[in-house]
Amino acid sequence: MAAQPLTPEMMAQLSALASSGQHYLQEWTQEHVSQPLSRLQTEGQKLSEQIQYVPKKLSSRQRKWVLIGLLFAFVGFILIISGVFVSNRKKTHKPALW
């Protein structure tokens, strides 16, 4: 089969097809590449801002109150445990675990 020369009508059809294909490609690129990419960039920017946050160290006054709170918690824990052992000993008339 010999190749036919392109007629002006065929050239017009090819030109219209090429422009519609280019338009479709631009829409597809915008929808599937550009929008997700910009969304990822904004999310990445937010994450990098969160990562850059460094908590401040506690001041000496704050450290003092944290230590006092831990001391009270420890003393309360010891009192609760010793109270459990004492109440067990009173109920069963047996010596404590030690």
Is the distance from CB of 96 to CB of 89 less than 8 angstroms? yes
Residue 44 in domain: yes
Residue 15 in domain: yes
Q: How many domains does the chain have?
A: 2
- pTM: predicted TM-score of the whole model, two decimal places: 0.37
The three-class DSSP label of residue 5 is coil
- End of a domain among 20, 35, 51? 51
CA distances for 11 relative to 5, 7, 15, angstroms? 10, 6, 6
Higher-pLDDT residue of 50, 11: 11
19-58 pLDDT, tens per residue?
Answer: 888 888 888 888 888 888 888 899 988 888 878 767 788 8
Distance separating alpha carbons of residues 72 and 50, to the nearest angstrom: 34
> What tokens were used for 51?
């990562």
Looking at residue 2, what is its pLDDT?
64
Model confidence at 63, pLDDT cuts 50, 70, 90, reads very high
